[in-house]
Amino acid sequence: MPDPRQPSPSDVELLAAAQVSLNRHARVLAGLGRLFADHGHQLYLVGGSVRDALLGRLGTDLDFTTDARPEQMQAFLRDWADALWDTGIEFGTLGVGKDGDRLELTTFRADSYDQQSRHPEVRFGDNLADDLVRRDFTVNAMAVQITAQGPGEFFDPLNGLSALRAGVLDTPAEPEVSFGDDPLRMLRAARFVSQLGFAVAPRVRRALGDMAPQLGRISAERVAAELDKLLLGRDPVAGIDLMVETGLGEVVLPEVGGMRMAIDEHHQHKDVYQHSLTVLRQAMELEEPGSPPDLVLRWAALLHDIGKPATRRHEPDGGVSFHHHEVVGAKMARKRMRALKYSKQMVDDVSQLVYLHLRFHGYGDGRWTDSAVRRYVTDAGPLLGRLHKLVRADCTTRNKRRAARLQANYDDLERRIEELAAREDLARVRPDLDGNEIMEILGIPAGPQVGRAWNHLKELRLDRGPLSREEAVDELLAWWNRERS
């Protein structure tokens, strides 16, 4: 894969890393290149795939561009591919599964935008140069020709390699033009800062600040997809900081920037915004080694204190309080994530973690009753492991003695949970009598009364632990007599 320019020593290292990465896909690349050549078409590996190959982080998702039209590709790829998807065909894109790789092939594009709508007018191009110049950033505007022999010539007309070496995100055209064409590219800049550890060029940062309101043109689903990728990156704090500092966050996630509260000399408290970023970092450190990043945990860590600005009160003694900020924050998290069109499960999980994150601080020095421990576990449900991590991450005090005491108290709570779980089924706390037994004992049909009886027995189960059948029946009958009177 020779470089047509005179490469620097560092460029040679990058190109060598790319060759190693591409060699892992040699069979698929050569087979695909031969297929396109046999049908008289050009084929190039392009965009993020070339960038990641140069960085030595290429995965199994490979992006290509070609002069072939979608219907032409369909005709000769159908028999070669293990699987074929045409969901993006209206945008000139076909998806192909082959030997464990997922390939995305797109016809050269020369799209036009009216600078107002959310979607471009899709127009196909006829050459690689025009396709590259319409891409978001120069580090994504490099290509490698794919031939019947595999990877061939390297194309870098916009100096993407030097930008990659410098770790800088810049646009092929003026950023105002690029971002005006597709405002989502502004959010993508923050995502790449998180994923790649890059900085943005000064002119890009200025354009982000000037054009941030245009993100309002983008659908909630596309925004959420970028935010997720940002949070799953290796340094989401850097991406979030860029969003907040440039005003992008004010458009798509205003509650986060809203945590930057003014602090005067008389009413001292933590910088809630910086505290939340620290909690996010610490939550990431608690993720299971070797496991995928935990998106639910990261969202909860970022949003856990968003209720503080709305609940801040200056107390007569000069202190500051944030009473019930977890309740307000849970409602705010639910509202924002619904606006971003997240799934019900995602909304429920993140908002419940926000709601529960302060519960532990009522634990004091281990003085919770067994009933309180049961309720803690029951309210957390399948989120208990994440709640453990969130609560521990939320300890950001610089007072080493206080930090050690908090961690020791949480160690004690986890020990209490384990001890109770050894005696009881804490993972599934249910009444000692089921609905059918309740109806039989009380001689009543299915209806609201059965539900109220069931809830009463569950409260008893949480308070007192497992009851014998005789005790449960006695309690049920006593409740029923009170209910009837």
Same domain, 385 and 281: yes
Q: Is 77 inside a domain boundary?
A: yes
Asked, for residue 336, whether it belongs to a domain, the answer is: yes
Spatial separation of the C-alpha atoms in residues 91 and 107, rounded to whole Å = 9
Are 81 and 45 found together in one domain?
Answer: yes
pLDDT tens digits, 302-313: 999 999 998 888
pTM, full prediction: 0.85
| Tally of domains within the chain | 4
The predicted structure's pLDDT at residue 2: 42
> What pLDDT, in 10s, does the model give residues 102-116?
999 999 987 555 556
Pairwise CA distance, residues 341 & 228, whole Å: 12
- State mean pLDDT over 316-320: 76
pLDDT at residue 4, rounded to an integer: 43
pLDDT digits (tens, 9 = 90+) for 225-246: 999 999 999 999 999 999 999 9
Q: What pLDDT sits at residue 435?
A: 82
In a domain, 198, yes or no: yes
Q: Indicate whether 4 belongs to any domain.
A: no
DSSP state of 172: S
For 140, left (φ over 0), alpha (ψ -120 to 50), or beta? alpha
Share of the chain above pLDDT 70, in %: 91
Which of the four pLDDT bands, split at 50, 70 and 90, describes residue 457?
Answer: confident
What is the pLDDT confidence band of residue 456, given thresholds at 50, 70 and 90?
Answer: confident
For residue 261, pLDDT over 80 is answered with: no
Structure tokens at 208: 């982000």
- Structural domain boundaries enclosing 444: 430-484
Point out the domain boundary residue: 105, 137, 166: 166
Q: What is the pLDDT of residue 5?
A: 47
Q: What is the dihedral of CA 266, 270, 273, 279, to 10 degrees?
A: 180
CATH code: domain of residue 65: 3.30.460.10
Q: Is 207 within a domain?
A: yes
Look at residue 272 and tell me if it is in a domain: yes
Do 86 and 43 belong to one domain?
yes
User: At which of 127, 145, 166 does a domain end?
Assistant: 166
Q: What is the pLDDT of residues 367-377, one digit of tens each?
A: 788 888 888 98
160/175 same-domain check: no
Mean pLDDT of 94-100: 95
Q: What letter does residue 293 receive in the DSSP assignment?
A: P
Average pLDDT over residues 421-429: 71
- 56 and 159 share a domain? yes
pLDDT at 266: 37
347 and 214, same structural domain?
no
What percentage of the chain carries pLDDT values higher than 90?
Answer: 60
Q: Is residue 115 assigned to a domain?
A: yes
Q: How confident is the model at residue 386 (pLDDT cuts 50, 70, 90)?
A: very high
Q: How is 463-481 classified by DSSP, letter by letter?
A: HH----HHHHHHHHHHHHH
Q: At which of 166, 187, 214 does a domain end?
A: 166
170-184, 332-346, 449-463 — most confident range = 332-346
Residues 406 and 417 occupy one common structural domain: yes
- Same structural domain, 136 and 274: no
Question: Could you tell me if residue 312 is inside a domain?
Answer: yes
Q: Are residues 281 and 394 in the same domain?
A: yes
| C-alpha distances in Å from residue 452, one per residue of 269, 280, 313 | 44, 41, 39
Q: Does residue 451 share a domain with residue 410? A: no
Sole residue written with tokens 């991450």? 393
Lowest mean pLDDT among 20-29, 42-51, 66-75, 415-424: 415-424
pLDDT of residue 428: 66
Identify whether residues 30 and 134 lie together within a single domain: yes
Residues 155 and 57 in one domain: yes
Give me 416's structure tokens.
Answer: 């209490």
Looking at every residue in the chain, the average pLDDT score rounds to 89
Strand order in the sheet with 143-147: 83-85, 93-98, 101-107, 61-66, 43-46, 143-147, 150-155
CATH code: domain of residue 204 = 1.10.110.30
